[in-house]
A and B are shown apart, each in its own frame.
Chain A
Amino acid sequence: MKDLITREYQTVTGIAGPLLFVEKLKKASLGEMVEILLATGESRRGQVIELSEQHTVIQVLEETTGLGVTGTRVRLTESAAMMDLSPDLLGRRFNGAAVPIDGLPPIIPDTRMDIIGQPMNPVARDKPSYFIQTGISTIDGLNTLVRGQKLPIFSGAGLPAKELAAQILRQAMVREEHGTGQQAFAIVFAAMGITFREASFFLGEFERGGVMEHAVVFLNLADDPTIERLLTPRYALTAAEYLAFTLGRHVLVILTDMAAYCEALRQIATAREEIPGRRGYPGYMYSDLASIYERAGRIKGRAGSITQLPIVTMPDDDITHPIPDLTGYITEGQIVLSRELHRKGIFPPIDVLPCLSRLMNLGIGPGKTRDDHRAVADQLYAFYAHGRDIRRLAAIVGEDGLNDSDKRFLKLAQDFEQEFVNQGAHNREIEETLNLGWQFLRYLPKEQLTRVKPELIERYYGA
């Protein structure tokens, strides 16, 4: 046993924002967790983020209120941030630093893992290829989600991202159990900076859906320490990796809200006086976000999978803002919510044009969904995009200035939004979604379906 006394330091020389500067802390290692002991006997957690002969920089994961250069002691733990793991995780609730908040005792670990994780060797990855039926037409039909994918929801303040996420969770569970005979998804839920009300909404959903026993919940709420948020998704993904790759579960991970996570990242960068990249966010935000989002996927020879559904609130509804922008550059597509559709009362208000699922082709087609899936999606996209152009045109020249064909497209765009997109709480099977898609393709004569093969038109278009 090491003598604890030699591991305690009283050489704090400065505090700036969430950072603590300590001299002569030479024994520390990068990423090591430390305990910060106040004169009052209170203790807070911190992590070493830089080391030099002059001083060591510690990011304080909790409030810095009450910390001073005198009377504060720093104790090294000789350990990076680790997490205790066992199958008992399921059904448990933790704070943003993986401390239980459900009144139950701590997890008795089967194993412990470093929460930073290691990059998956690209050659060990297995190709995602199983369709997840979310029951949402705009996703299943047009932007299909597959197991092992990371597909964020880009939302705006006040848009119903959480309702959509909850509906996806609920419905994805159903099909998995009854449709494929697979074991139900395990859910890992990580809240970062969201309100108590939003968090309760999700928890209520889990209770109602009876899935709480399959869920692991991490809560860092809006009034919880900001910097702790930097660790929350990492604890959550460590739990997810354990469930998926040690226990063989299919795991759905909800991370909300990634915008709050990025704000915490910016705070640290500002406190360190780093040279900012675009709009004040650190230049390494891409790599940092990648270290979270890339922890999704499948591994050859292992049973489970990790599918991520991060929620990203776009500041000012601006998709070019660095937070959604860098996210989109890392994730395998995005689901984009629209304020305009929301105002029209459409739920879910998904604007399909900027949506994308890059892994869609791996999860659809004969044997997985249906042979016409790709074609229906492509053709609907082409028609709806054209319909939107006509709508813009009609706003200028008036509807009377449109010819018959234009009018059809105009109506198609309208009805598509009202019926295909606007499905409310209804859970649609994929066949229902595709059939509904054909209903809109029939707005136009067969000859105009140039993105659909004649055989498929023959089979599905009808007389």
Chain B
Amino acid sequence: MSGTIIKISGPTVVARGMEQTRMFNRVAVGKTGLLGEVIRLRGGEATIQVYEDTTGLTLGEEVADAGEPLQAELGPGLLGSIFDGVQRPLNVMAAQQGDWIARGLTLPALSRERRWTFTPTIRPGTAVVGGMSVGITQETVKVEHRILVPPGLSGTVREILEGTFTINEPIAWLDGDRSLTMLQRWPVRSPRPVAERLPPVVPIITGQRVLDMLFPIASGGTVIVPGGFGTGKTVVEQALAKYAQTDIIIYIGCGERGNEMTEVLTEFPHLKDPTTGLPLMARTVLVINTSNMPVAARETSIYTGITMAEYYRDMGYAVALMADSTSRWAEATREISARLEEMPGEEGYPTYLATKLAGFYERGGRVRCLGQTDRQGSVTIVSAISPPGGDFSEPVTQSSMQVAGGLWALDSDLAHRRHYPAINWKRSFSLYTTLLDSWFQTQVAPDWPQLRSELAALLQKEEELQEIVQLVGVDALQDQERIVLEVSRLIREEYLRQSAFSEIDAACPLAKQYWMLKAQLEFLRYCQGLIKMGRPIEQLIASPFKTELERMKETLPDTCVQQAQTMVEKMEQELGGVKRET
């Protein structure tokens, strides 16, 4: 079935004679067979967004309908792969085409030659439904890939094999002769079904103090990271991809830089998973559609990514999806909407922008898995947003903020001072803090929530004092107030600031996070106590405790915890002693 091109405008093409096609069907456009997708139908005229550069197309060329929507391939071999926005494996493309991306190449996402050892986990005669696993294969050293019955399918297993197979070979048959393979397909724009949605209860530990302590993210939660250029969105996303304690990472470089992805590609294979010590790539899928790659494929990259995330969620894994940047996806949507001459909304974005964004974020969450109700999985979304001029009042930030459970607001002023991560603690929030309190209390320390409140209060107090200083100078302050300024500065510098490039401090375990802050807050109490008893503030500022606190973050976690514990004890003793004296 095929039509004829009657209009070409940038990445969109209109074809006539397409009566038989369906919305979102995949098509091959022109002599070179460029990959496209039907995005509007009017009578027999189909508007097609083309995933490759349309230069050189002419009117009258053919458009061939594949008769099915654009689907992601799901099966073993995803982990460790690097795909473009429409799930073409970039490594294979480079091997076949060389250093530049040529057009018109259709490639399967997953290898058809590679063989996987399949071990059944059910017996013939078992009744299965969509989502149930029928067996496993070890996909990487880290991840056991559970082979699931595709959603919507059910029956009784007539026969099931054991051995090594390619993803195309049947590994089981249901009654009625329907066969199962290790490969399934799923239309990327439709969410995969779940049994039940659950509220989040467990955090994802990021290793970033400002995040874990002040603005924690829940497994299955959604956090947005807006910030002007150069404020640190990508560094945050990459830090999470490296250090977040989670089973699977899907990293989407959506409309961003090539060199940035090169860093990921050269670095990740040498990095170790923080929980297991296994190679990081063994839990990671990369989707890369850089800013100069076709814009329609950029639009799709987000869906390709989240579909893979849902697939691993359905196996019962905790998946974290990093999207850098969702704004570039929204802009791709805008560009295509403009070509369709749709009525524009705010800043030229289509009026359905908010709905589309919400639809994407809604695919995150913690769930009880389909077909296997004892199994839980989650998709956590961390979405970078690039507001024009760094101004958060723009549509993408605003619409995202309405559905996100957390906001990590990046701040140019902090970034200019090289205070990284440049997370503005006044503007940021997490709706998950109270939900997660009991987890932190049982897993780290009962007074974790209390430390957090104290820290927040201290930063607030500092701000008030700074306002006074700005008006009348620091000499107008009492010593009790000056010490608050001193210690909050210390905490900003030594606790909240955390360099992603530090060998020791790039990721900070929870115990270290807790004890560092504990010692710092204890130091404030200690100073306040001594000042009350007449000790001059200069002496306290020169205290060896302070010097020790200033070097703490570059200390190995275990040493640091010990050091902090000892320090807290000493300060308590000393303060108690002085109190008795007077």
Contact = CB atoms under 8 A, between A and B. Distances in A.
A118 B101 contact: yes
A450 B263 CA distance: 28
A97 interface: no
Nearest to B418: A381
A29 interface: yes
A268 to B, nearest CB: 12
A52 B259 contact: no
B6 A396 contact: no
B537 to A, nearest CB: 12
A26 B291 contact: no
Given A122-B265, A330-B291, A353-B417, A116 B55 contact: yes
B262 A126 contact: yes
Given A50-B9, A122-B82, A374-B501, A287 B295 contact: yes
B58 A121 contact: no
A333 B292 contact: no
A116 B53 contact: yes
Contact of A125 (B56, B98, B259): B259
B529 interface: no
Interface residues of B, number: 78
A60 to B, nearest CB: 18
A284 B259 contact: no
B6 A53 contact: yes
B293 interface: yes
B292 A119 contact: yes
Contact of A393 (B97, B290, B334, B470): B470
Interface in B1-39: 6-10, 14
Contacts of A50: 7-10
Interface residues of A, number: 82
A51 interface: yes
A397 B90 contact: no
Contact of A290 (B82, B228, B292, B344): B292
A262 B9 CA distance: 20
A396 B471 contact: yes
Contact of B259 (A124, A148, A278): A148
B390 A320 contact: yes
A116 B100 CA distance: 12
Interface in B445-476: 469-475
A80 interface: yes
Contacts of A52: 6-9, 14, 59
Contacts of B6: 52-53
Contacts of B391: 320
Nearest to B231: A356
A302 B100 CA distance: 13
Nearest to A393: B470
Contacts of A454: 551
A403 B474 contact: yes
A127 B259 CA distance: 7
B389 A320 contact: yes
Contact of B335 (A32, A116, A284): A284
A326 B265 CA distance: 25
B59 A26 contact: yes
Contacts of A329: 229, 386
Interface string A305-326: 0000000000000001110011
Given A116-B55, A120-B100, A320-B389, A393 B291 contact: no
Interface string B280-298: 0000000010111101000
B554 interface: yes
Given A121-B94, A123-B91, A283 B55 contact: no
B576 to A, nearest CB: 28
Given A116-B53, A406-B474, A450 B417 contact: no
Contacts of A406: 474
Interface stretch (A7-15, A169-177, A220-228, A269-277): A269-277
A263 interface: no
A36 B433 CA distance: 67
A396 B260 CA distance: 43
Contacts of B10: 50, 284
B262 A291 contact: no
Contacts of B8: 30, 50-52
B348 A276 contact: yes
A371 interface: no
Nearest to B92: A123
B99 A120 contact: yes
Contacts of B390: 320
B163 interface: no
A349 interface: no
Interface string A106-125: 00000000101111111111
B416 A118 contact: no
B136 interface: no
A328 interface: yes
A275 B344 contact: yes
B198 interface: no
Contacts of B257: 294, 330, 332
A382 interface: yes
Interface string B176-219: 00000000000000000000000000000000000000000000
Contact of B501 (A119, A126, A361): A361
B54 A30 contact: yes
A450 B550 contact: yes
B228 to A, nearest CB: 8
B89 to A, nearest CB: 9
Q: Which of A126, A329, A356, A402 has the most CB of B within 10 A?
A: A329
Given A26-B59, A30-B8, A119-B101, A396 B470 contact: yes
A32 B58 CA distance: 10
Nearest to A57: B9
B100 A119 contact: yes
A3 interface: no
B494 interface: yes
B5 to A, nearest CB: 8
A31 interface: yes
B416 A354 contact: yes
Contacts of A114: 55
A156 B388 CA distance: 20
A119 B97 CA distance: 12
Interface string A274-302: 11111000011011001100111101101
Nearest to A117: B100
A122 B338 contact: no
A329 B328 CA distance: 10
Contact of A27 (B58, B103, B347, B474): B58
B292 A294 contact: yes
A134 interface: no
B124 interface: no
B390 to A, nearest CB: 7
A382 B259 contact: no
A285 to B, nearest CB: 10
Contacts of B386: 329
Given A30-B57, A120-B258, A320-B389, A453 B335 contact: no
A274 B10 CA distance: 13
A42 interface: no
Contacts of B103: 118
B469 A393 contact: yes
Contacts of B347: 277-278
A432 interface: no
Given A80-B55, A119-B100, 6 more contacts: A118-B101, A120-B101, A294-B290, A294-B291, A325-B228, A402-B473
7 contacts: A51-B58, A120-B258, A284-B10, A284-B335, A287-B295, A294-B291, A374-B501
The 4 closest A-B pairs by CB, nearest first: A320-B389, A290-B291, A401-B473, A328-B229
Interface of A: 26-32, 50-53, 80, 114, 116-128, 148-149, 245, 274-278, 283-284, 286-287, 290-291, 294-297, 299-300, 302, 320-322, 325-326, 328-330, 332-334, 353-354, 356, 358-359, 361-362, 374, 378, 381-382, 385-386, 393, 396-397, 401-403, 406, 447, 450, 453-454
